[in-house]
Chains A and B, each alone.
Chain A
Amino acid sequence: EEEAALPSLAPDKACRAVHGCVTAWQLRRMSRHVPRSERSLVCVLQAMIGVEVLVELRSDRYLKGMLKDCDDGMNLTLEDATSWSEPTPEDKSGLLPVVFIRASTIRFVHLPPDLDISKAVEHQRRVRQQVSRGSRHSVQPAQSGGKGTEKQEL
């Protein structure tokens, strides 16, 4: 999604003098561009995809399940969730295979106690960078020579 927001880096537009690399101003712009998920604490939840979480809703309801997906607006998708109410915690529902939680209904998200959020967020950012660089490689296989040198220079 980040690539779409940036100017297209077609090879014929890139600076020819800098062999196989983007121009300096494009690099500066890319370094300044903060993805939407990293502008809020959504990045913490995105780093926790695949982990079991307990979500407390504003309606005093709990949903415990594996975090399947978290989007930039903090809407969540849980897998195999159990649900119960705050006043009657013993009355638990059965396994709900897929639960979509609207962001506005969330009050708390109970994170696992052994999770270091800053490490998880940095790791997630590195993974996302690698994925974005890999997709650029695969999108234009004919330019593999140029892209290879770009990878080395960066």
Chain B
Amino acid sequence: DTMEQDEQPHRPPQAGNAAAEASPEVEQQRDESEPLSSSQQQRQPALQPPPAETQRAEQQAASSPTIDFFSPDFDAYAALMSPGLQPPKPKVKPLDTVAQCRRILPQEVDGSTAGAPKPAERSAHSVAAQERARQSSREAAARTLRLQAREPILQKMAFAVSEQGPFGVLRRCYQNKQRVKVVTRHHKGVRGTCIGFLMAFDKYMNMVLRDVDEEYTVLIRVVRQCGQKTRDAEDEQSTTGLKTRVCRKQEHRKRHIVQLLIRGDAVVFVGQVD
């Protein structure tokens, strides 16, 4: 590929000149790193056209000098506009930026950087520093991945609490996968108990229990009719003065739940169940 690239500037130096003369303003406006237009890029890496088309193109080139790549009257725009026209070496690697083109232009052409001295070699110190930095970042990434793989989130959450103190009890129950008894509350007073295996917990005492046996109380409004003697003289008409009273009764209920998430502010205390 590099051989072919070197060949190109020597074959059509006049073509390069013609192109430069044809559009000097355009080249000056262009930035060094501006990529070539997409149509030019598409032209380069095309497949080898069938022989009939190349013959036609050659005939075309022979007929009009504007699209003959090696003629001094070569017009790049006309070449782009003519369909089926292939450059002499279509398999050459495309040049993405104007800077790359400048490097292979012959030195006589304006704007060529062919004879420019190559940038100084990087010092060994700089190369070593870059390698060290790359290595450390790779190690850090690997460490992150290992940590993430080794410690699942729920376990990390459980171990985020201290080993001593109240949460130490919870942590030990979680580690030993023990059955715990959680007492829950109403807005006023104790509601009931949940006994289950502690699957996960956090610093707010939210818990996930499995295989839960819950015994709890529900406050129910019961409408009762109770007889009462009326003392007022007005009620003498009604002999049986029945009064309906709304009593609140505590009803005990039991149930079994497979998996339950308990919010921390409903918890009164947590105890071990042997």
Bits for A26-45, please: 1 = Cβ < 8 Å to B, else 0: 01101100100011110111
Q: Does A110 contact B (CB under 8 A)?
A: yes
Give the interface residue-count category, chain A: 35 or more
- Label chain B's interface by main secondary structure: mixed
What B residues does A23 contact at CB under 8 A? 137
Query: Do residues A27 and B261 form an inter-chain contact, with CB atoms below 8 A?
Result: no
Could you tell me which residues of chain B, from 94 to 138, have a CB within 8 Å of some CB in chain A?
129-130, 133-134, 136-138
From B148, B157, B251, contact of A39 by CB (8 A): B157
From B130, B154, B155, contact of A17 by CB (8 A): B130
What B residues does A21 contact at CB under 8 A? 134, 137
Closest to A34 in B: B156
Query: Do residues A111 and B204 form an inter-chain contact, with CB atoms below 8 A?
Result: no
Query: Do residues B187 and A58 form an inter-chain contact, with CB atoms below 8 A?
Result: yes
A122 to B134, CA, bound (A): 29
Query: Do residues A107 and B263 form an inter-chain contact, with CB atoms below 8 A?
Result: yes
Which one, A5-13, A113-121, A138-146, is touching chain B? A113-121
Bits for B138-182, please: 1 = Cβ < 8 Å to A, else 0: 101101100110001111110010000000000000000000000
Q: Does B184 contact A (CB under 8 A)?
A: yes
Closest 9 CB pairs of A and B: A113-B258, A31-B144, A111-B259, A41-B206, A109-B261, A27-B140, A87-B220, A17-B130, A40-B202
Taking Cβ atoms with an 8 Å cutoff, the residues of A that contact B are 15, 17-19, 21-24, 27-28, 30-31, 34, 38-41, 43-45, 58, 60, 74, 86-87, 103-104, 106-113, 115, 117-118, 121-122, 125, 153-154
